[in-house]
Amino acid sequence: PEALKIKRVMERDNVIESEVRNRMKNQLDEEEKIKRSDYVIINDDKQLLIPQILEVHAAIMGNSSLF
């Protein structure tokens, strides 16, 4: 979610929201990033992170049933 991304960047870089939004305007939107990606890991408190990481790792190593 956009609000979570903004919050994380503000905390990490010690910047205000308008600065984060300016940076985001110069980046690809989420949909385009996903379209161009070979793998996507969703880090949103709704999906477990470790299983996604293990699945991507398995895919890269050639042991995956999903990729």
On whether both 10 and 30 belong to a single domain, the answer is yes
Mean pLDDT throughout 35-49?
93
Kindly state whether residues 3 and 16 are assigned to the same domain: yes
Q: What share of the chain in percent tops pLDDT 90?
A: 78
**27 and 1 in one domain?**
yes
Q: Tell me which residue range forms the domain holding 18.
A: 1-36
Buried b (16+ CB within 10 A) or exposed e, 22-55: eeeeeeeeeeeeeeeeeeeeeeeeeeeeeeeeeb
Mean pLDDT estimate for the chain: 92
pTM: 0.65
